Structure 1
Amino acid sequence: MSYPTPMIISNLTTALADKSWDALVVIGESFINVLPEPLNEIIIKQAEFDSRINKELTSFISEDVNQTRVILAPIGQTNRYFDDVRSYYDAAKKAASLVLTMGAKKPLLVILGNDKPAYKNAEMVSYLGFSQALWQPLEAREAFGDLIEPISILGVVSSNLNGSNAAALESGRYVARDLCGTEPERMAPPQFAEYCVEAFDRTDVKVTVTDDMAELETEYPLLWAVARASIEVKRHQPRVIRLEYTPPGEINKTLMLVGKGIVYDTGGADLKTGGHMAGMSRDKGGAAAVAGFMKTVAELAPLGIKVVAEIAAVRNSIGAEAFVSDEIITGHSGIRVRIGNTDAEGRLVMADLLSKLREEALDEVNPVLFTVATLTGHAARSVGPYTALVENGVSKANGYGELLVEQGDLLADPCETSRSRREDYEFVQPRTKADDLLSSNNGPSAVTARGHQFPMAFLSIVSGLDKHDVNDADPLPYIHIDIAGSGVEGGDWQHGKPSAAPISALFGAFIDSAD
């Protein structure tokens, strides 16, 4: 099926009188004396013998309510300095799971907001959280059919929620969850590309798939090195997928994104052991998020902003043809890269794409470049469930990282910025004259000092972006986005639902704000 289409109803009384909705879900801080009669009196009476009301998720049946099923989802406190709008997202997710358990198929969502600026998007966030809980993996939908996602319409009582924006954002998040959460054979590189072709059919996004092995070897030598061991298996062969949206009329800004699409990461010759390979089909989360963001762009077709995305869909396999540590490979930019660890493959598959986009960016209007990846365990260790942002000097001077943090907070897609420092650039300097750049050390990033910051320095140098920083003649803003901690719920990379981070933050920062 698909995500639930939001049906916006501006009048609460009208919505509550509509018997076609089969469940009433109320999300808020408190439920007493805030809803119209007779619903208020019904809740008061219910609270007399159920002390859970206002404290935890509660449901009851009442023939005096037109929707019969009533679910009250409290969000908890909002007055502490660390409280944020994710409380609405979490409450909506819990409520959605209960709606499914109760057998409802057409729920009505009522969000009791507040006047605090941090909660101004409570209605949007609640819709997104509800939809997150309803998504089921692509393989499950293919096995069981549409019945596995029984809710196709979600009523939302609101006088200010933009239904088109909400639907477009959830459409992109749905695509991202599909691409990230699907197992490695069903979403091998050729099938990843096929999914993208189908997802953008009859939209304004142009899809180009590079599937010629000779061209990939010549144009993307670092990507090719990672892919070498997979070439002999046709269904595992790499793809480079380009998604391009060009609006009619004047262009005011250009977003250029590269997504890491490692459909399965064995670690290569530096093989993952001790059970750490499980969940590595989600190492394509960055590419999934980039494709999902492009889906949101396709649905909205915003004016004034051009968006270009390139995805490296590759399997990091192990075999006789596998690349190994100590190899020196010359990338698209001409930089000679010494391989430090074959399990640090994500930065390699993005490097050539970023180099090409850097060249294109010089001819674009107000470009901003991004890499999006499930890159390092260090990001998850450093910032927990948050998206880590590492900027170059141009991006920092323009405040793009802080803009993503601000908008991510408002849309329940939180980010944290990390400074890029001289030690990061020193870390990847060559140790001999045989090479120009070191891809990584040979230890796990999680126990490497500045393990999620120094890869941005590597990507900056290997793509040539280090020659376009704040004091250079042609400055280009660049943000490296690491979603290793935020890409799946609960940090469970094998079983957790993909979160679709950082699509909402990107939308809020660069699409919604441009309206």
Structure 2
Amino acid sequence: MFQVDLVDVQSDDAIFEGNGWDAVIVVASDLDVIAQDEIKLLANHAKQIDQRIGKTATLLLAPGLAGGRLIVSPVLNAQNEYSDVTVFAKAAREGIAIAKAAGAVKPLLVVSQHSDTRYQYAQQVSALACGQELWQSLEYREAEQTLPAMTAIGLLVTQSCSELLNAVEAGKVLARDLCGTEPERMAAPAFADYCVDAFNGSGLSVSVVDEQEELERDYPLLCAVGRASFCVPRHQPRVVKVEYVGEGEIEKTFLFAGKGVIYDTGGADIKVAGGMAGMSRDKGGAAAVAGLMKTLSLLKPKGIRVIAELGLVRNSIGSDAFVPDEIINSHAGVRVRIGNTDAEGRLVLADLLSHLRIKATSAVNPQLFSVATLTGHVVRCYGGYTAVVENAVSKAQGIGAGIADVAELWGESVELSRLRHDDFAKVNNISGQGELLSSNNGPSAITARGHQYPAAFLINASGLGDHGSHSAAPLPFAHIDIAGSATEGHPLYGKPTASPLVTLLHNAIK
């Protein structure tokens, strides 16, 4: 695993030369809140001759401090009432980037505390931000035979947090590798193999569905998406099943369906005008769920059970490709009319959710989720933020609101979108022949309620519609669209974020 170790340090003496660290990175909203007098005096003295200090991340010559390097990385706009903890993450990334460029391999990260409750996890978020900044793609690491840029990052903290952070970072590294790797190196069978290897010895229960007959029988919508890929062995679909069972009496069960469209050509509704570039990132949902399972296997929280199904498929073009107007029975027995083959992710998720629905009916306090880079519409609406669209059962239980609260504190902020009767009307019985329509035939980005109504399709196509608030067995379900948050930076080639792994983790273990 390509990961920089995060190490707890609980003595201020670590900032001095001779304690094993080779740079000190200070993340602070104001120079005067820095707790270490030596750092505060040096920074304020430097400010008298360089007005950038406290305004932009700056490297100072610091004899006597670790490595002779002091990097002051200011947190800007922390007092703004609309800011969130990502202002600390940004400052930490700027500081670690300077440390790396300066040649540091074992820096000490010092995050000054802030009284505002918005920033109660600023230290942890800053440390994880360093991991995000330092990650390099799997292709690059394999081609260049690189080692991690740093051997360790010390965290000057008042209590132990490295176990949690290292487990989270291990999951995030796995998720970034799976999401960000090109579609041949991480084709569906290779994605499945990478997961199996990553989970080896973890205590997780892992199985892979790879037989065509079984896939076609149990995942008919998923197999429609991948129908033209079966003729190419290295592109054939897979379903990865993973389960974590914590020690003790199980109090809650979490069930996740992860969309892993390895490459989305659009299928017969082919993406044109350069629209295919970046579509190897359409596996971000499955990647994030896989990363979550890795983190759980390391932390081993008690009292919870987590079940995941990852649908891995290539939306290939060819003589056997599925086309609009086909009617296909879902795993739940619902007749689905294909409206647009480029709306393939919801087909994959519907079959996964149908299997999870069956397990949820006998589970203890279940919560079901789908996680997917699903629509361009969510990016139009919310930019780089995640959207959560929940059913009535989930809304009544406050699950979406709880997720939003957790996400805000951990720098993975989400927007809550409400599911309405109009969304069901958009897909129900359009032909008058009783079928469920998978989608309209236009791009989601220009479709009204383009990221909300797919949740209505998922509910009905998976059989969850029979488990509403007034049913004998209500099941809470939330659809999580990460099309805007799964990557950062360049719109096509940006770095994977592993979002919303941290939010899903803390929602489960809180």
Q: CA distance change for structure 1 residues 493 and 194 in 2, over 3 Å: closer, same or farther?
A: farther
Whole-angstrom distance in 2 between the partners of 1:383 and 1:33: 34
Whole-angstrom distance in 2 between the partners of 1:289 and 1:358: 20
Q: In structure 2, what is the equivalent of residue 55 of structure 1?
A: 55
| 1:35 CA drift (Å) | 4.1
Q: Secondary structure at the match of 1:146?
A: coil
8 A Cα contact 2:246 2:302, kept in partner: yes
TM-score using structure 1 length:
0.97
**Quick one: which amino acid aligns to residue 197 of structure 2?**
E
**Quick one: which amino acid aligns to residue 253 of structure 1?**
K
Q: In structure 2, what is the equivalent of residue 506 of structure 1?
A: 504
Whole-angstrom distance in 2 between the partners of 1:167 and 1:202: 18
**Quick one: which amino acid aligns to residue 226 of structure 2?**
A
Note the alpha carbon deviations across 1:331-383, whole angstroms, 9 max, x for none.
11110000000000000011111111101111110010000000000111111
| 1:433 CA drift (Å) | 4.5
Whole-angstrom distance in 1 between the partners of 2:72 and 2:39: 12
Asked if 1:64 is matched to 2:59, the reply is: no
Q: In structure 2, what is the equivalent of residue 411 of structure 1?
A: 410
Q: CA distance change for structure 1 residues 359 and 510 in 2, over 3 Å: closer, same or farther?
A: same
Q: Secondary structure at the match of 1:240?
A: strand
Note the alpha carbon deviations across 1:132-167, whole angstroms, 9 max, x for none.
0000000111111233x2213110000135211111
Q: In structure 1, what is the equivalent of residue 114 of structure 2?
A: 114
Asked if 1:226 is matched to 2:225, the reply is: yes
Q: In structure 2, what is the equivalent of residue 4 of structure 1?
A: 4
Q: State the number of aligned residues.
A: 510
8 A Cα contact 1:289 1:502, kept in partner: yes
Q: In structure 2, what is the equivalent of residue 146 of structure 1?
A: 146
8 A Cα contact 2:336 2:438, kept in partner: yes
**Quick one: which amino acid aligns to residue 118 of structure 1?**
R
Note the alpha carbon deviations across 1:161-180, whole angstroms, 9 max, x for none.
52111111111111111100
Q: Percent of pairs identical after alignment?
A: 48
Q: CA distance change for structure 1 residues 67 and 75 in 2, over 3 Å: closer, same or farther?
A: same
Q: In structure 2, what is the equivalent of residue 447 of structure 1?
A: 446
Whole-angstrom distance in 2 between the partners of 1:83 and 1:33: 19
Whole-angstrom distance in 2 between the partners of 1:422 and 1:179: 36
Whole-angstrom distance in 1 between the partners of 2:302 and 2:157: 26
| 1:473 CA drift (Å) | 1.1
Note the alpha carbon deviations across 1:400-419, whole angstroms, 9 max, x for none.
10111101010001111100
8 A Cα contact 1:124 1:161, kept in partner: no
| 1:271 CA drift (Å) | 0.4
Asked if 1:395 is matched to 2:394, the reply is: yes
Q: In structure 2, what is the equivalent of residue 259 of structure 1?
A: 258
Q: In structure 2, what is the equivalent of residue 297 of structure 1?
A: 296
8 A Cα contact 1:328 1:435, kept in partner: no
Whole-angstrom distance in 1 between the partners of 2:169 and 2:14: 26
Whole-angstrom distance in 2 between the partners of 1:295 and 1:311: 14
**Quick one: which amino acid aligns to residue 63 of structure 2?**
E
**Quick one: which amino acid aligns to residue 324 of structure 1?**
V
**Quick one: which amino acid aligns to residue 75 of structure 1?**
V
RMSD over equivalenced CA pairs, Å: 1.3
8 A Cα contact 2:249 2:303, kept in partner: yes
| 1:276 CA drift (Å) | 1.1
Q: CA distance change for structure 1 residues 195 and 29 in 2, over 3 Å: closer, same or farther?
A: same
| 1:94 CA drift (Å) | 1.5
8 A Cα contact 2:15 2:24, kept in partner: no
Gaps of 5+ in 1: none
Q: In structure 1, what is the equivalent of residue 76 of structure 2?
A: 76
Whole-angstrom distance in 1 between the partners of 2:234 and 2:412: 34
Q: Which stretch shows the higher mean deviation, 8-17 or 206-215?
A: 8-17
Note the alpha carbon deviations across 1:65-106, whole angstroms, 9 max, x for none.
232111111111222221110001111111122111111100
Note the alpha carbon deviations across 1:448-501, whole angstroms, 9 max, x for none.
0100000000000001101111121100000000001111113x3421101111
| 1:204 CA drift (Å) | 1.5
Asked if 1:155 is matched to 2:154, the reply is: yes
Whole-angstrom distance in 2 between the partners of 1:500 and 1:33: 32
Q: In structure 1, what is the equivalent of residue 238 of structure 2?
A: 239
TM-score using structure 2 length:
0.98
8 A Cα contact 1:123 1:161, kept in partner: no
Q: In structure 1, what is the equivalent of residue 375 of structure 2?
A: 376
The 5-angstrom pairing of residues 432-511 of structure 1 reads 432-490=431-489, 492-511=490-509
| 1:13 CA drift (Å) | 2.9
Gaps of 5+ in 2: none
Q: Secondary structure at the match of 2:225?
A: helix
Q: In structure 2, what is the equivalent of residue 137 of structure 1?
A: 137
| 1:62 CA drift (Å) | 2.4
Q: Secondary structure at the match of 1:77?
A: coil
